[in-house]
Amino acid sequence: MSTIADNLSALAARIASAAQAAGRDPASIQLLAVSKTKPASAIREIHAAGVRDVGENYLQEALTKQQALGDLPLIWHFIGPIQSNKTKAIAEHFDWVHSVDRLKIAQRLSEQRPAALGPLNICLQVNVSGEDSKSGCAPADLPALAKAVASLPNLRLRGLMAIPEPSDERAVQEAAFATLRELQQGLDLGLDTLSMGMSHDLEAAIAQGATWVRIGTALFGARDYGPV
């Protein structure tokens, strides 16, 4: 087995045991393989090992890999910060966007989504740790944003996403993920998705209801460059 396939087996075991500890069906937790900074060949390997969903942070890098992997039936998720001038290409080349944090971006994605592709799946990114430097909408602004995004014709609002401030303490990790879960319940929009949990905190995220875990390092190894 390749290292990537080995990593995937170990990760599947982590997800299964976290699900069991939380009394959840492991099938209710989907794996998003985060491949930023990694070559198309690594995505080809993870696909061969059975993974279908791929997350990328940088548009140009993602488009280059999509070109190289056009023969594979992959589902592409955009998970990075979004500038206005990138919305058209994102609307045309992705199935999901996890990182929408303001209405202007959502409106552009809706206007620019090609009808033939069907609605674009959207998660709203929320800043649950209150750090100034992080992207994500403030919890106080979420209800109005969610209501407005839910009404846009070519988007399908699925749920919420967060990248909490990193912590080694399980209780701190869980508190941030619980905040996201409670915010989602408070919206009462029938949302089915919580995109939360990365390589170092997926157990805490699963305990608090994650439906997507976004995993890079634990699958592909450490990154040589780029943000964590």
Ligand X SMILES: *Cc1c(COP(=O)(O)O)cnc(C)c1O
Q: Can you tell me the distance from the alpha carbon of 173 to that of 171, in angstroms, rounded to the nearest whole number?
A: 5
142 binds ligand X (CB under 6 A): no
Count the residues of the shown chain that bind ligand X, applying the rule CB under 6 A.
13
- b/e per residue 78-110 (b: at least 16 CB within 10 A): bbbbbeeebbeebbebbbbbbbbbbeebbebbb
If one counts every other C-beta atom within 10 angstroms of the C-beta of residue 119, the result is 16
Least gap, CB of 143 to ligand X (angstroms): 23
Q: Can you tell me the distance from the alpha carbon of 164 to that of 36, in angstroms, rounded to the nearest whole number?
A: 19
Pick between residue 183 and residue 215 the one whose CB is nearest to ligand X: 215
Least gap, CB of 198 to ligand X (angstroms): 4
The one among 35, 57, 110, 208 contacting ligand X by CB under 6 A = 57
108 binds ligand X (CB under 6 A): no
Q: Which residue is nearest to ligand X (CB)?
A: 216
Site for ligand X in 166-225 (CB under 6 A): 198-200, 214-218
- Give the CA count within 13 Å in the CB-facing half-sphere of 165: 10
Site for ligand X in 72-101 (CB under 6 A): 79
If one counts every other C-beta atom within 10 angstroms of the C-beta of residue 185, the result is 10
Q: Judge whether 54 and 33 are in contact, CB under 8 Å.
A: yes
Least gap, CB of 89 to ligand X (angstroms): 18
Least gap, CB of 10 to ligand X (angstroms): 13
Chain positions contacting ligand X, by CB under 6 A: 34, 36, 57, 79, 163, 198-200, 214-218
